[in-house]
Amino acid sequence: MANIYPFAGAAIQSDSTCKFSVWAPFRKQVSLSIIAPQPQIHPMQPDDKGYWHTSVEGLSSGTQYKYVLDEEVTLPDPASRYQPEGVHGPSAVVDSNFEWTDDSWTGLDMSELIIYELHTGTFSGTHNFQGVIDKLDHLRSLGITAIEILPVGQFPGDRNWGYDGVYPFAVQNSYGGVNGLKALVNAAHQHGIAVILDVIYNHLGPEGNYFSQYGPWFTDKYKTPWGPALNFDDAWCDAVRAYFIQNALMWLDEFHIDGLRMDAVHAIWDCGANHFTAELSELVDALQATSGRKKFLIAEIDLNSPRYIMPREKGGYGMHGQWVDEFHHALHSLLTGEVNGYYADFGGLTPLAKSFQDSYVFTGAYSDVRKRHFGASPGDLPYHQFVVFAQNHDQIGNRMLGDRLTTQVSFEAQKLAAATVLLSPHIPLLFMGEEYGETKPFQFFTSHSDKDLIAAVTNGRREEFASFAWEGEVPEPQEITTFDNSTLSWETQTETGAALIELYRFLIAFRRTRQAMRNTTRDSVKVLIPQAEEQLLLVERSGGDDRLLILFNFSDHVVPYQYTGPGTLQKKFDSSAAIWHGPGTLAPDEATTSSAISLQPFSAIVYEIV
């Protein structure tokens, strides 16, 4: 795909020269300092847009360099493709060539996604991309069609969630670098699995962040929870926008990545006529057309606003999907009874029923937590533009102890949570280890080198939990034990673990093969609360001639239900069945009008209506 934006970084050319370009509009002099293998200094020439350029012959992949600004300071490249010695060390030239074997891969539609979110460092004992490759057979056998990888841009040290990255173009050195990530994408495609990469275009991490010394990367017009806002609409913003657009297209084009999950899009402050996400989505759609491969953008956004995923021709920004945290909050609060912190807006069955039907819980109602009316209706946007989950890195890791749902509720409730997500019309997302009931936590961990920053992070974590009634001590993010405690055990062969895996496998296959489950239009789902006091939720789903009745019992006791609809019910699934290591089913295999159906505590049942 032709890149219409100014090039930044270092790239080996077809004539064997290496081209360097860096944006530093206020600097009077910029030089390229080759550090290894042979020290050299090369003056750079400015253009009228604030970029400095030079080309050097005889350089190869691995050449280490920095830029010298006004003979005052020597810094790594903001567009570095590799940081072999970490965030403070020299940048390195990278050869972009790779022997791909995924020519037959054309990608997946959003509606086909069964997403599995993972953190490369804690997913396996090797803590790298190869550790993920080694588990692709497991994921494929489960029915996973897409892996979503937490950010891999170079961050300080070798332990971090990835949201402290300061080199968006550089693949984390301890994970396996550029070729390690490409090998993972290549292998995933061979397994029929798409790859989604989590990217951060709303802030940059604090340690190793030298951007402000190059130019006006930040603006004082807005505030973010992570520091200065990136400059997407103020003076000199064109180069900043171009930088992040280049980054997105690099992942999707050169790295063959299928989609990007964009972190906290609500904090990409842009009041210009063409919002950054709209400009980016247009270019991603163009890349899809020219490459012949499906590409998509999924927003994490703390706004119940369909504008971000509405088509551009209808005044939207044209992104392709978004996370729905409210589905999680409603489900979590219902199962655990937690109603403090941001869970204060939830509790009871009604919020979950609302999210099941409308994706959002708040579509204009008053929010006690936000102290204002909040949200808008998603209208006729299909369910497959909304991603839901019972667990993810944020909702586990941002608990004080990083404790998973597995350790908070019973085994029957775990199965109910899985069924609620997988039987919903939305796109389901699983968090690594969820499928076998991992009990180890996923805690917040760092490996910073700045003592003041380490202290600030620790204190910040303690303050963050003040509105929650959680007990215990906040794990120290900097300690290696916090990272080790968060690495998956992969103890999948326990009695309950094996049963849970099979339940996930069955439900994933069920949603992929039933016409009613594949239908994601808004008129295909009907949600009812027939017995609010009994915590019983009914969902009817239809597609063509396929009709399903799904019953969820969120109470801790047996609940009777009398079917009054037409036709005959034939049972297809019961989470309480012995095959799923349950207490045994009470519901009949077949039922007709006026038949009594009993649901075990914390159970889900699926009937086909014939």
Q: What angle do CA 532, 572, 414 make, to 5 degrees?
A: 55
Residue 103 is given by DSSP the state: T
| Distance from C-alpha of 439 to C-alpha of 496, rounded to nearest angstrom | 12
| Backbone dihedral angles phi then psi of residue 460, each to the nearest 5 degrees | -65, -40
Positive or negative torsion for Cα 352, 357, 359, 361: negative
> Residue 240: is it exposed, middle or buried by C-beta count within 10 angstroms (0-12/13-18/19+)?
buried
pLDDT tier for residue 1 given thresholds of 50, 70 and 90: very low
393 is in an annotated binding site: yes
Q: Which of 117, 300, 434, 534 is catalytic?
A: 300
pLDDT tier for residue 321 given thresholds of 50, 70 and 90: very high
278 is in an annotated binding site: no
Residue 608, token pair as written in the block: 């086909």
Residue 58 is given by DSSP the state: S
| Distance from C-alpha of 349 to C-alpha of 168, rounded to nearest angstrom | 41
Residue 435, token pair as written in the block: 């499928």
Residue with tokens 């399903």: 548
| 2: pLDDT strictly greater than 50 | no
Contact indicator for 203, 227 with CB cutoff of 8 Å: yes
What stretches of 214-349 show up as alpha helix (H) in DSSP? 237-249, 276-291, 325-336
User: Is 9-92 a CATH 1.10.287.3510 domain?
Assistant: no
Q: What does the pLDDT look like over 511-560, one tens digit per residue? A: 999 999 999 999 999 999 998 889 999 999 999 999 999 999 999 999 99
| Distance from C-alpha of 602 to C-alpha of 411, rounded to nearest angstrom | 9
Looking at residue 458, what is its pLDDT?
A: 83
Q: What angle do CA 537, 522, 551 make, to 5 degrees?
A: 20
Indicate left, alpha or beta for 124 from its phi (over 0: left) and psi (-120 to 50: alpha). Answer: beta
- Those residues whose C-beta lies under 8 Å from the C-beta of residue 418, and which sit 6 or more positions away, are 390, 434, 500, 503, 504, 507
- What's at 151, amino acid-wise? P
| 216: pLDDT strictly greater than 80 | yes
List where CATH 2.60.40.10 sits in the chain. Answer: 9-92
Q: Which of 77, 198, 233, 263 is catalytic?
A: 263
Residue with tokens 């916090």: 482
Among candidates 437, 457, 416, 518, which has minimal Cα distance to 145? Answer: 518
Looking at residue 594, what is its pLDDT?
A: 85
| Distance from C-alpha of 610 to C-alpha of 278, rounded to nearest angstrom | 45
pTM over 0.95: yes
Looking at residue 469, what is its pLDDT?
A: 67
Strand segments (E) across 70-191: 73-75, 91-92, 115-118, 146-149, 153-154, 167-171
- pLDDT mean over 329-353: 96
Contact indicator for 81, 93 with CB cutoff of 8 Å: yes
Provide CATH code, domain 525-609: 2.60.40.1180
pLDDT tier for residue 372 given thresholds of 50, 70 and 90: very high
Residue 109 is given by DSSP the state: -
11 is in an annotated binding site: no
| Distance from C-alpha of 490 to C-alpha of 504, rounded to nearest angstrom | 16
Residue 417 is given by DSSP the state: H
Residue with tokens 């099979």: 502
Lowest model confidence (mean pLDDT) among 180-189, 469-478, 543-552, 569-578: 469-478
Among candidates 390, 395, 189, 372, which has minimal Cα distance to 293? Answer: 189
358 is in an annotated binding site: no
| Distance from C-alpha of 449 to C-alpha of 160, rounded to nearest angstrom | 12
The class that CATH gives domain 110-508 is alpha beta
Looking at residue 3, what is its pLDDT?
A: 46
**What DSSP element (H or E) covers 462?**
helix 451-464
> In whole angstroms, what separates CA 599 from the centre of its chain?
34
Q: What is the CB-side half-sphere exposure of residue 36 using CA atoms within 13 A?
A: 8
Is 263 an active-site residue? yes
Residue 411: other Cβ atoms inside 10 A = 17
Residue-wise DSSP of 242-270: HHHHHHHHIIIIIT---EEEETTGGGS--
119 is in an annotated binding site: no
- What's at 89, amino acid-wise? G
326 is in an annotated binding site: yes
Among candidates 589, 588, 583, 581, which has minimal Cα distance to 601? Answer: 583
Per cent of the chain over pLDDT 70 is 99
Pairing of strands 296-299, 153-154: unpaired
- What's at 204, amino acid-wise? L
Coil, strand, or helix at residue 230? strand
- pLDDT mean over 248-274: 97
Residue 415, token pair as written in the block: 């199965």
Q: What does the pLDDT look like over 450-462, one tens digit per residue? A: 988 999 888 888 7
| Long-range contacts, 240-246 (Cβ 8 Å, 24+) | 240/216, 241/276, 241/279, 242/5, 242/6, 242/8, 243/8, 243/23, 243/78, 243/79, 244/168, 244/201, 244/276, 244/280, 245/5, 245/279, 245/280, 245/283, 246/3, 246/5, 246/7, 246/8, 246/79
262 is in an annotated binding site: yes
394 is in an annotated binding site: yes
Looking at residue 467, what is its pLDDT?
A: 66
> Residue 84: is it exposed, middle or buried by C-beta count within 10 angstroms (0-12/13-18/19+)?
middle
pLDDT tier for residue 465 given thresholds of 50, 70 and 90: confident
Q: Give the residue with greater pLDDT, 30 vs 225.
A: 30
List where CATH 2.60.40.1180 sits in the chain. Answer: 525-609
| Distance from C-alpha of 183 to C-alpha of 189, rounded to nearest angstrom | 10
List where CATH 3.20.20.80 sits in the chain. Answer: 110-508
Helices (H) and strands (E) in the chain, counts: 14, 31
Contact indicator for 523, 600 with CB cutoff of 8 Å: no
Looking at residue 4, what is its pLDDT?
A: 59
